[in-house]
Structure 1
């Protein structure tokens, strides 16, 4: 039976309602653009989503490494503000990038790992069942996508990096034994075996092991102008130190005295012989050390604004306002390079991909040279209700100038996540450890940010004040079920709960947590929505729709909600399961998408927005269905066609498809299909999946233009369509 026929049948009991078929479509006339990445991919380039380590070649080429980039740019090369190469063969089929990188005049050496995808990959290229390999891939500088093989090299027999991987550690799957530091001369390669508490030295040409020496949890390595070796010991700890060795491993004088509170993230030596240490602690600076005539070292200064991006107007980006330093380096001309990801180096065992990558170059401590940004990943975006000229993602604020050409309309204006003042931000303790999908509201003129995790299990609430600048202050949390682990203390062992920051300190205290006494159970895979007056709605999968009305504000400015004041609307006909809702309070209109008895839910498609969308008028008093739309659905095709997100703005409904790069547009007044939008040439005619529950938003500008924003799961950006009906 056709989907439209099923919809009509499901609605027969409700009277003579229109069923809209999505079969015949026409492409609309619109402009494709994007937000949050220095490149759109129309030129074949994208700025990677995370940088864990950099190496700077003498000519200013910056090589980067990270364990994961969604489109395979774990290892990239950049020069003069441009992306010039992607290494490849570090993504998929068991392969991943890593946390260290180095080069000499012939080769690029990068940390990486090889797994077997839960024992599904077998053969000489892969570790045996239950095991993961950590080691070093060697590439030619002439073409970093090509492996520089060696006698003991293994792996990747089916691609251009065959037999160019050096296995350093073979460990049980789930153990992080990655290399956390690399440095190279033309004859030797120094590697930090962090989990093995040793520095291992290899012949840079044959890759044979030469020697090793003990260092407690070694991290980054730098080779001095005299050939001696500097090593960060105590990787990832507040007690880290910077030690000095001969190339043979003999301790030398000159150990650096780090100020209290320093979190040493990287170390570099300038052409003049000064030593630089990246401090990823609260000060967010790069410490400068000079050598004395006696061979000792002395701190003589620091690069960067004290407290980085959190100085004065907290969260405001700008030159030398550093944020999560992961790598530093110099070229032969003395230009300084710094990589950031909003967090700092990945802790052992963590799978984080950072809070957005930034790569900058300065003419040492003076002139700004260039900056590249890849700021969003698995992030939705939302417009500030005060103006469509301001866009929020989970942790960023952008200002818009729609007069600019595609990809140049946006400017990074704010980082709203503060890990130093608010380490208890619920986002850090939820899936992915980031804020992802925003709903921005103005209540009594004041801005409030609500965010969902990718699967919409949790709704976080944030307020703003002048003292914290751009930073969103943790204000509240709604949880459909307990968070995994031991955070926060005081959450119920079972069932729904909420938190409100009653004392206004932005931290979660046990006495601020309230369980839901009326359910005593988890809600399951529901979906949160916040309407313009600030009321919180929860669409439960099978128990109807609940409204928690805003009760006012406490003395700290936090919105007040109560389970006792909640109102539940029964499952509206014809639905048997709800997936998404959009409630327009100004017109008392509810849009519901989901499944019916004849269009049933399928657990294999758990994240979809459903197979039918119905508009209801007079929702709060007497819900009246107006029309039903058969949403695009074909699970037999390749790729499958299913919807994942719904947005309503002005006179139109915008439905994002999941596996296919397409937005279907319907007239919100009649339910009639208007047409569709797909990515244009500016973004390479492609985009990644919209892979989250709240991955689409839309607004109508005063000039009548509609702007539609979508999560792009592939290339660290927000996809943007601009359409004038």
Structure 2
């Protein structure tokens, strides 16, 4: 890519590097807290990031399952708003969780899979090359971490779940043969073999197969009070119905008449025999069927607020405002349990982990609220609303903060800003992970805008807000460094940069609204986006300098206007040979740059790092910027773990640098570059955190009382890590 230079032959003034080791680094006096999870891990607990299925025990314990939780809580147990146990052995060494779970009075039966990690694992515990096993793990309710082995059971010979896996399907890796429904009595286990369109029945004690019958692409199963079965059918086709069978497989009358447009995701039966169906269509409700005198189900009034979290005050969570129901159940005492992940069940073949997990309980008869648990943030960072340090956005959530509350209780879940029904063409759904990621919040002419990056910062998404849509972030624009893989959107160039602006205001990426970059026709690659306070967009290219796309105003719809024609280029400043991160402070015309130099050049094994050097440049836009300092950041790729940097934030008089592998934030005086100290996770979060695993994973703000609040992505336990520090 060829750019002209606004710097021309201007000489950059710079000082020699200030080595970080030459200055004493002391641990600062600060408080560690968190946002977005009901538990912090200081007590050894965390709410999992996704729930695909639940089973409710006789004592009101809720057992969950999902294919993936970053810290291994795929299968877990919760009761009365507390977390009781993690099953384990469903994470790593080829193991993953699954999409179904069932319990009786003795055992838990959960769908799971065993792979060989790209043929790296061999032996009797693993499938042969290029295969994956799908089946069921059996555990004791008394100790979920202990397998309940049986004759014919296999797997995990080196841990406590040895020989407790029942192999159902061995398929070529890449195929999804996961079990999508299960139910259990004390004598039998009913399994939806979705892949082979059949229901399998096993002896609950011996796990020996008893019988089977064909059902087109079956999913969820519920056992009625008369021991008959309600079975969801059509999972692979998307044309879903609920069929009725005797326990021996005989088809029965009484098929549920679902309203047009129903998207059933789970089935439950109350102690009195009412049939409940979770509906994940736009109404986001639970359908209720009472039985008439002849035992035939008749539709009754649904429960839950119509349109769920999107009702009237759109995006605001609350009691009975459901959002992506994945599981429902009722215990013998009449308590209802509802699992949600902001999306609904994982589509076949998808690796989705949802949009954040919520598990809540109500009294079914009176609708009284019991409790709620949240695990709302995964591979997602957070940013402050510049109008208020008490309002924090992640990619798809908003939280409010009350700093007077105890550690871990400062946050409240205020909004879900992603609307898959009104705006199914939101670019976030078509980018890596299918979720909105790293946010920047800006105020332009008093109006609020949300800008988000995908984890690798290839795409900058733009969202606007209006009164009619409440808290929903409306797709407004997109700037892409390269084409998005696949067929979406129609009209994007086959090569090179491009941008989209929603000029007709419908929130859909129309081909007529897409513009390629006519001056280069090239692909930037691994650049980094930054949006400054006035709303100008900056792109640091790895090796060709920095481009500014000044805001050209707002169009009639309220979308920010950016054009390639109005772009300005700034040459690569010394001492950098590759730029990794930028932070531009428009109020002072100050640019902070981190990256690589000839002394420590970039290499592909550290593709997401922020680099070993940080520099500050004053009078950046003048054409003759002055480098105030360049400092060596912590960097040692030979240590174990490695010491490298991954993110930079600036607030007030300080620069905050996140390290990647070492759970550390280094603090520098923004005026001088002098090292001030560092922060690491405290006891409230178990003295640990996951990696900051995205390009824009750290943010900071200075409150009016002088306190600094620093937010970091916590990749491990579905939360945002928060440091509070007063110099």
TM-score normalised by L of structure 1: 0.98
Name the structure 1 match of 2:7: none
SS in 2 for 1:255: coil
Instruction: Work out the CA distance in 1 between the residues paired with 2:402 and 2:448.
Output: 21
Query: Equivalents in 2 of 1:438, 1:366: separation in Å?
Result: 36
Q: 1:171 corresponds to which residue?
A: 171
The residue aligned with 1:353 is 353
Tell me if structure 1 keeps the 8 A contact 2:592–2:616.
Answer: yes
Q: Partners of 1:211 and 1:144 in 2: how far apart? A: 27
Q: 1:543 to 1:16 in 2, by over 3 A?
A: closer
Change in Cα spacing, 1:564 to 1:15, as seen in structure 2 (3 Å) is closer
Structure-2 residue corresponding to 1:7: none
Partner of 1:3: none
Q: Secondary structure at the match of 2:300?
A: strand
Provide, for residues 661-691 of structure 1, a one-character-per-residue CA deviation record: whole Å limited to 9, x for no partner: 1000000000000000000000000000000
Match of 1:417 in 2: 418
- Report if aligned partners of 1:17, 1:626 keep a CA contact under 8 Å in 2: no
Who is 1:136 aligned against?
136
Give, in whole Å, the separation in 2 of the partners of 1:236 and 1:311. Answer: 30
Partner of 1:60: helix, strand, or coil? coil
Equivalent residue number for residue 321 of structure 1 = 321
Paired residue for 2:695, among 693, 696, 704? 693
- Give the superposition deviation at 1:237: 5.4
1:669 is aligned to 671
Q: Find the residue that maps to 2:343 and give its secondary structure.
A: coil
Cα distance in structure 1, aligned partners of 2:390 and 2:661: 30
2:659–2:665: 8 Å Cα contact kept in structure 1? yes
Deviation larger for 568-577 or 30-39: 568-577
Does the CA-based 8 Å contact 2:14-2:629 persist in structure 1? Answer: no
Contact kept? 2:15, 2:628, Cα under 8 Å: no
> Are the counterparts in 2 of residues 90 and 96 from structure 1 also a CA contact under 8 Å?
yes
CA deviations on 1:315-356 (whole Å, 9 max, x unpaired) are 000000000000000111010000000000000000000000
Say if 2:259 is the partner of 1:255. Answer: no
Is the contact made by 2:15 and 2:627 (CA closer than 8 Å) also made in structure 1?
no
Cα RMSD of the aligned pairs, angstroms, is 1.0
Q: Which residue of 2 aligns with 1:709?
A: 711
Number of aligned pairs? Answer: 714
Q: Distance in 2 between matches of 1:13 and 1:348?
A: 55
* Cross-structure match for 1:383: 384
Match of 1:644 among 635, 641, 646: 646
Gaps of 5+ in 2: 1-10
Bigger mean CA offset, 228-237 vs 373-382: 228-237
Partner of 1:617 in structure 2?
618
Residues 646/451 of structure 1: CA separation in 2 closer, same or farther (3 Å cut): same
Matched, 1:684 2:683: no
1:215 aligned partner: 215
Indicate yes or no: 2:298 matched with 1:287. Answer: no
Tell me if structure 2 keeps the 8 A contact 1:20–1:671. Answer: no
What residue number does 2:298 align with?
298
Q: Which residue of 2 aligns with 1:493?
A: 494
* Contact kept in structure 1, 2:438 and 2:454, CA below 8 Å: yes
Residues 456-493 of structure 1 deviation map (CA, whole Å, 9 limit, x = unaligned): 00000000001111100000001100001100000000
1:629 aligns with 2:624: no
Q: Report deviation, 1:201.
A: 0.7
1:86 aligns with: 86
- Secondary structure in structure 2 of the residue aligned to 1:608: coil
Matched-pair contact (CA < 8 Å) for 2:14–2:630? no
CA contact (8 A) 1:89 1:95 kept: yes
Alignment deviations for residues 191-232 of structure 1 (CA, whole Å, 9 cap, x no partner): 011111111111111111111111111110000011000001
Between 1:440-449 and 1:23-32, the stretch displaced more is 23-32
CA drift of 1:20 comes to 3.9
Measured in 2, the distance between the counterparts of 1:13 and 1:304 equals 63
| One of 657, 660, 668 as aligned partner of 2:659 | 657
Which residue does the alignment assign to 1:512? Answer: 513
Partners of 2:36 and 2:234 lie apart in 1 by 34
Alignment match, 1:155: 155
* Alignment-derived partner of residue 474 in structure 2: 473
**Aligned-residue offset at 1:294:** 2.4
Query: Compared with structure 1, are the counterparts of its residues 722 and 380 closer, same or farther at alpha carbon in structure 2 (3 Å cutoff)?
Result: same
Distance of 1:22 and 1:160 partners within structure 2 = 46
Moved more, 694-703 or 593-602: 593-602
Query: What are the Cα deviations for residues 630-659 of structure 1, in whole angstroms up to 9, with x where unaligned?
Result: 011011111110000000000000000000
Deviation at 1:366, TM superposition (A): 1.7
Query: C-alpha separation between the residues in 1 aligned to 2:300 and 2:679?
Result: 57
Q: Would the aligned equivalents of 1:285 and 1:322 in 2 still touch at CA under 8 Å?
A: yes
**Helix, strand or coil: the match of 1:127?**
coil
1:677–1:188 CA distance, 2 compared to 1 (3 A):
same
Deviation at 1:295, TM superposition (A): 3.0
How far the C-alpha of 1:14 sits from its partner, in A, is: 4.4
2:20 maps to 21
The 3-state SS of whatever aligns with 2:512 is: helix
Shift of 1:263: 0.3
**Structure 1 segment 9-158 matched on structure 2, within 5 A:** 14=13, 16-17=15-16, 19-22=18-21, 24-158=24-158
What's the TM-score once normalised by structure 2's chain length? Answer: 0.97
The alpha-carbon deviation at position 238 of structure 1 amounts to 5.0
Instruction: State the Cα deviation string for residues 45-94 of structure 1 (Å, max 9, x = none).
Output: 00000000000001100000000000000000000000000000000000
**How far 1:539 moved relative to its partner?**
0.2
